[in-house]
Structure 1
Amino acid sequence: MEKKLIETQENILAAARTIFAKKGLAGARMQEIADAAGINKALLHYYYRSKEKLFEQVFEEAFKKLVGPLAAFLADDSELFLKIRNICTLYHKVMAEYPFIPNFIINEASTDPSRILKLLNIVGIEEGKKKTAMQISEAIETGKIRPIDPRELILNIISLSIFPFASRPISEQFLYKGEDMDEVLKSRANRVSEFIIQSIQI
């Protein structure tokens, strides 16, 4: 019985991820999610009393997947260049498994930015910011890298790692038509990290 309950909940979440990614909170309908999950609407409401509660769980899960690599990067005690390679590799793995996340987060963040701000404290971003800023400052002082604002470096990493997945439909048609886009994106993990390192390395 318990196994059946867990399976039903997983089916609901899988259906909700797909529909929320396509239509957002405002456009999604509970009946549509119930149909996609293969259950009736009454059972869906048994698990989730409202569309908003279901959306909050799906959104929080997606946001943690997106921001988790950044939290890991900030908390990482590895040497700076290795940290950069680690986060680029980790972002590729996450985005390849959850390709809907970038556009889903961007769309909903523009609708309700406060949702993002609340979750930032949950994933542990703040704890690692000072550590990474100090590490970057030390690398500048020792002549390892050129002067750069730590925020700019972090933004470059996130942008170059995530945007290709968010823009995949366009890139697939206009830049890499006829090529295996999965392989293109897979090979980018190393290229992005090396591009970033070369841009700051002295």
Structure 2
Amino acid sequence: MKEKSEETQKQILDAAKKIFAAKGLTGARMQEIADEAGINKALLHYYYRNKEKLFEQVFEEATIKLLGPVASFLADDSELFTKIRNLCHHYYSVLIEYPFIPNFVLNEASVNPERFFRLIRFEGVIEAKEKTKQQVEQCIKDGIIRPIDPRELIWNILSLCIFPIISRPVAGKLLYANENVQEILEQRADKVADFVIQSIKK
């Protein structure tokens, strides 16, 4: 058997992302993934022994993409308003490129929460949370922002960044008929950052 090819592996992962996003771990079949990748099932098994191994890789990559911006935000040494703007820009750039990620990760996380929380710990989200909590509390003491629970602030930002991606098909029909929703989403990062900052700024 020839050495494993990076190009073939990419084909497999791209196909697996599409199938797993549509059907989840339980509903996806290896034959479907092989067909989508344009290879035979034997070659697919050469790269990945079973569906669970392939799913783990796809799920881990997707979770890291979803959580990466949060980890960067929490560990960022910038002043708070700059951090908020950075987080919004990072999220929109990632989620516009990979729109399947939020639904995929959240659906599968509800099935296997332990796998999800294991990756959160790996990404350092929990460890870095205290740093941002202290920064928010200091901004409140300094009179820069109104009193707000740091967890509520982070949750608000995540909601404003992630929900438009999830609801894109509905928004395209109900709110932005005959408009380019892709362009609207690409412009939302600064609008969301401005909205969040103005909502907490004194």
Shorter-chain TM band: over 0.9
Is the contact between residue 75 and residue 127 of structure 1 (CA under 8 Å) also seen in structure 2? no
5 Å matches for 1:122-141?
A: 122-141=122-141
Alignment of 1:72-151 (within 5 A): 72-151=72-151
Residue identity matched to 2:14: A
Deviation at 1:126, TM superposition (A): 2.1
Match of residue 54 from structure 1: 54
Runs of 4+ in 1 over 4 A off after TM superposition: none
Aligned residues: 201
SS at match of 1:99: coil
CA contact (8 A) 1:140 1:146 kept: yes
CA offsets, 1:35-88, max 9 Å, x none?
111111111111111101100000000000000000000000000000000000
Which amino acid is the alignment partner of residue 94 of structure 1?
V
Instruction: Give the CA deviation at 1:111.
Output: 1.5
Q: What residue ranges of structure 1 are gaps of 5+ in the alignment? A: none
SS in 1 for 2:121: helix
Structure 1 residue 127 displacement after superposition = 2.6
Which residue of structure 2 aligns with residue 39 of structure 1? 39
> What is the CA–CA distance in structure 2 between the aligned matches of 1:140 and 1:190, rounded to whole Å?
23
The structural deviation recorded for 1:157 is 0.6
- 1:121 shift after superposition: 1.0
> In structure 2, how many angstroms separate the alpha carbons of the residues matched to 1:157 and 1:179?
25
Q: TM-score, normalised by structure 1?
A: 0.97
1:185 equivalent in structure 2: 185
1: CA distance, partners of 2:169 / 2:182: 12
CA RMSD of aligned residues (A): 1.0
CA distance in 2 between counterparts of 1:34 and 1:183 reads: 34
TM-score by length of 2: 0.97
Q: 1:28 matched to which residue of 2?
A: 28
1:71 equivalent in structure 2? 71
Structure 2 runs not aligned, ≥5 long: none
Give the counterpart letter for 2:135 in structure 1: Q
In the TM superposition, what is the alpha-carbon distance from 1:114 to its structure 2 partner? Answer: 1.4
Q: Post-superposition shift, 1:185? A: 0.5
CA distance in 2, matches of 1:44, 1:91: 32
Q: What is the CA–CA distance in structure 1 between the aligned matches of 2:122 and 2:49, rounded to whole Å?
A: 24
Matched residue type, 1:109: A
Q: Which stretch has the larger CA shift, 122-131 or 67-76?
A: 122-131
